[in-house]
């Protein structure tokens, strides 16, 4: 069966993206997630992963996490975001990232958050657990 050239380009592009994503380090995966680049991490979340945002929310299972990422991502699209990574600490299967996030609308600050995300990875280098600590100023 012949595949149309345009479809072959799409398939090749998806294959290249999948190879690239699988080659991301744990630190790169954690940083992408912390910076709201969820599409880069969707295939790197364990099926039984857990995301706890202290005193706010808890998502259990990959689909619940992806649903929450979609909701958060939609919010990010509605504002201008300014993420700053301040520190990254790695130790074995754990990565900790702290930083800030500023959210602007019409050049006016609507929110500023200081955050710390603790990532735990499984033996396949997939996100197994995220614990997020967020302080809104």
Query: Are 75 and 53 a contacting pair, CB within 8 Å?
Result: no
pLDDT at res. 23:
85
Q: For residues 113 and 96, give the distance between their C-alpha atoms in angstroms, rounded to a whole number.
A: 16
* Residue 20 pLDDT exceeds 90: no
Each residue's pLDDT tens digit, 7-16: 544 544 444 4
pTM for the model stands at: 0.83
* Contact in structure between 117 and 65 (CB atoms under 8 Å): no
Q: What is the pLDDT of residue 42?
A: 96
Q: What pLDDT score does 95 carry?
A: 98
Q: pLDDT per residue over 33-68, tens digit each?
A: 999 999 999 999 999 999 999 999 999 999 999 999
Alpha-helical runs (H) found in 23-61: 26-34
**Tens digit of pLDDT for each residue in 103-135?**
999 999 999 999 999 999 999 999 999 999 999
Q: What is the DSSP string of 79-115?
A: SEEEEEEEEEEEETTEEEEEEEEEEEETTEEEEEEEE
Tokens of 72: 């958060």
């Amino acid at each position: 069966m012949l595949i149309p050239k345009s479809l072959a380009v799409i398939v090749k592009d998806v294959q290249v993206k999948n190879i690239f994503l699988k080659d991301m380090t744990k630190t790169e995966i954690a940083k992408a997630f912390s910076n709201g680049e969820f599409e880069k991490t969707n295939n790197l979340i364990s099926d039984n992963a857990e995301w706890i945002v202290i005193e706010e929310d808890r998502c259990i299972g990959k689909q619940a996490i992806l649903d929450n990422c979609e909701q958060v991502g939609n919010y990010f699209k509605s504002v201008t975001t300014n993420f700053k990574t301040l520190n990254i600490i790695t130790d074995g299967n754990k990565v900790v990232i702290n930083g800030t996030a500023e959210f602007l609308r019409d050049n006016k600050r609507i929110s500023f958050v200081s955050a710390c995300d603790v990532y735990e990875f499984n033996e396949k280098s997939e996100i197994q657990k995220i614990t997020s600590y967020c302080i809104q100023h």
